[in-house]
Structure 1
């Protein structure tokens, strides 16, 4: 590791404890911003290490808050960290960390939902973030459209959402999110984080998920059609497919026959490849 990085890590390690940063800057967590600050340095370090080798990456963080995970990313040797934060109080509180990082940390005051990931720094890019609960899924869905720009995503969600990302067909948590995410990414649920680790403690357990874009989707399909098919099938998941797919505006029995799928099955019984076959049948039907 180069001397400059050693100096950055020493400067970051010498910063005041996070609780002092929160108190000095009056950083009471705002519910409307989905803020729950993770202060346990062992856990933030574990998340940073789970993201892989950061020494050659632009690391993108969303919602750094007082900077717990941001510090961990710098201590893990990130070449450059770009942190996106909506709360101007946090922007001010993070200035000493920016100075300690000596050019390796850039703060952007913005809504992450509106930011073009590819504009934030050179490839390879990794997203590592404790996502605000209230926008976690919309953020992920937007990043799925930018996967060619990303090497990996290491993200914290509510455990219920994390289980959906990883669930296989036949499992209770399997749904639209499972299909779309796993169609495009290899997904690993790494570990849970209890509510007591956060300030303030949320009412739910959190989980860290590691997502790696696939070189090619699992099976051929157009994303917009796959989204339509999964929305219809899981929108009435207790009904048989011959009924739930009627909302697609074409004969469901013909679609199912073209995809070689039994019409009496329900959504949770279909594999990702079978959903892709339905999407292809919908494309062929001109819908």
Structure 2
């Protein structure tokens, strides 16, 4: 009879998880990580950069997000339309986003187009034109994006909460920037910011699908050829400056009141963060949470 296997320990599970992916750092500082999934017909690619709103000075707030928009507008050898068609024309998808600590460019394509997709992403990241007319057009787009989020009460209330938690520092500012800062960012500032942060040492290329790690390495050596700086940019620490409760009430002509309550959490390397995560589930994460039961099921005060 087959013997019953014992459950894996935490250390065994960690080792098993580590075997799922391979990671290599190239001589120019670029990091490549792959996860082989032979059952998949497509490959997913992510170009992750260690730069986001956390690294911005106040007068250029929103520049990381501005730059992300512009990288889709064209390069020295591909127009905006050619960039999109290079991925979407073969049945793939192309996207990007900016966060507090990172910027990411994503593509998903049929597996046989892995090399060409990496070439497109590498071209975008290293050789973007940042043409004056594109900057002018995209500036207007981003200004409308900022106005859009201010019209969404759920987003607006979180924006105000972050300003309360992190006053006078990058984490308290909008990732998209403010109307004033976006209007003031120049092409020279965009070029300098890109030159400072879009370096191989700040880039992690991630690929998942039916692929070989060595194959991706060779393609990355070809597509991300830049030597650049081999030192990663320094992490910008946040200061907890709160000495007492803070309140912010904003009046908007809408039918419902939106409320956000926040407090400082734990560092991501603190072992107690798992306890905090469990507490989050108990108090408000799911339909069985205390907050959901009391506010919606018992009192019928809100939908969400």
TM-score range for the pair, normalised by the shorter chain length: under 0.3
Q: Greater strand share, 1 or 2?
A: 1
TM-score under structure 2 normalisation? Answer: 0.22
Structure number with greater Rg is: 2
